Amino acid sequence: MDINIRKLYFIIYLFFYKIYIIFFPIAKLTYVPSILDVTNEYIETRKRNFIESFDKTIDYNTNIEEEFYNKDKYKNTIIHPLNTLETNWKKRILFENTPRGNIIMYYDAYKQGFAYYSDSYNLPYGLLNAVAMKYVMTYFCRDFFMDDGVTPIEKASPLIKIHMDEPEKKNDVKKNHMKKTLNKINTLSQNFSAQKNQQKMKQIIEPPITNTNRFIYLGKIINFKFLQSESKHNLLNGFGSNLLDNLSGETKLQKKVMDYKEYKNLRNNIKS
């Protein structure tokens, strides 16, 4: 009899437990991605779109002026304070929402880098690079992107060779340093099987040379101001009428009369 009562209690317990589960489901624990995960996903998405753009037939460099592809023309243009290269690209502004906050970016034609405003000061290079990828694709200036670690090797920007400061001399210095280092390695590794060890050493000492983008931090977003051209027109914005012309003429005439009276008074004082 006791066993039957226990079974009955157990059945009743299961019945009410199922009802409880139906009306009060246990909340499932959901995974909340970290800021690092979200940032990496953002970067990878921008990088994937950027690399895929090289397979398209669209010309992503149509907005770049010809001066950028000629070093002499570029120098002769950029030296002028109000040159068109700087003014044009300062007007092409990207407002981007990222996992690390909003970023306002434009291309600085003089410094040949990406200027940006952000409320976060220490943004990682990878994130800024991702925003720059979107910028160059939005404004059709892909050759401004100088990071050949991201760009396919055969598609590297031609502006790197044009605007790099004496790359041949820098490479010569590195090569001379490499020769001296390898000579030391050869003397120290005579008891080892030479070629394999030497090749491994060379790969460690001589990492692949890559170029990176330049980013210029301009301050917090509150410091950003829309570019406004200086207006030399009057407050009427070019509006005119005969009445206004007559009023202006009378004002000028009154000034001339007053100036003449002052002149006469001054002349009389000198005579006296």
Please, which residues bridge with residue 118 across strands? 103
**What distance in Å separates the CA atoms of residue 119 and residue 102, rounded to the nearest whole number?**
8
Could you read off the pLDDT of 225-247 as tens digits, one per residue? Answer: 875 544 444 444 444 455 455 54
Half-sphere exposure of 72 (CA within 13 A, CB side): 0
Q: Residues 171-210: pLDDT tens digits?
A: 554 555 555 555 655 665 555 555 555 555 444 444 455 7
**What are the C-alpha distances in Å from 266 to residues 7, 34, 124, 162, 269?**
126, 83, 73, 69, 5
Mean of the per-residue pLDDT values for the chain? 77
Burial pattern 186-195, b for ≥16 Cβ within 10 A else e, equals eeeeeeeeee
As a whole number of angstroms, the distance between CA 160 and CA 144 comes to 9
Q: 105 with 188, same domain?
A: no
Tens digit of each residue's pLDDT (9 = 90 or more) over 140-180: 999 999 998 898 888 999 999 998 755 444 455 455 555 55
Give the distance between the most distant pair of CA atoms in the chain: 144
Residue 179 and residue 173: Cα distance in Å, rounded? 10
Give domain status of residue 255, yes or no: no
**Residue 175 and residue 147 in one domain:** no
In a domain? residue 228: no
Q: Same domain for 104 and 219? A: yes
Mean pLDDT of the region 74-103: 95
- Pick the more confident residue, 251 or 73: 73
The answer to whether residue 176 is domain-embedded is yes
Residues 175, 143, single domain; the answer is no
Q: Which domain holds residue 41?
A: 35-164+215-223
Domains contained in the chain, number? 2
Residue 247 included in any domain: no
* pLDDT given at position 159: 94
The pLDDT, as a whole number, for residue 8 is 74
